[in-house]
């Protein structure tokens, strides 16, 4: 099993679908996260990774967001290795997300 890359539009559909549940993690630095992030995203870093892995539900998809969609691929692969059934990497990262959100 491997992670899957998804577009901002696919991510928005999953998040907005009342029937679906999704865990969103943001792996950017503190300043970037504070400046803006996807609503409901957990700011994930080395100091809280263990706690997240202990409390997260591996049966619920996890969506990983980074700056431009590159680092999130490695993080999504890591979540698959940790036993998550579905890990998703946001193509274009938060930069693409914020561009789409600001045009809506």
Residues with catalytic function: 66
Alpha-carbon gap, residue 103 to 8, rounded angstroms: 13
User: Burial letters for 57-82: b for 16+ Cβ neighbours within 10 Å, e otherwise?
Assistant: ebeebbbbbbbebebbbebbeebbee
∠ at Cα 71 (8, 49), nearest 5°? 100
């Amino acid at each position: 099993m491997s992670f899957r890359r998804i577009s901002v539009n696919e991510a928005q559909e999953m998040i907005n679908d009342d029937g679906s549940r999704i865990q969103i993690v943001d792996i950017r630095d503190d300043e970037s996260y504070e400046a803006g992030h996807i609503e409901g995203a957990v700011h994930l870093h080395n100091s809280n990774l263990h706690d997240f892995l202990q409390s997260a539900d591996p049966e619920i998809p996890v969506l990983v967001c980074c700056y431009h969609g590159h680092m999130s691929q490695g993080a999504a692969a890591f979540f698959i290795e940790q036993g998550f059934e579905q890990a998703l990497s946001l193509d274009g990262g938060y930069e693409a997300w914020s561009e789409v959100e600001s045009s809506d």
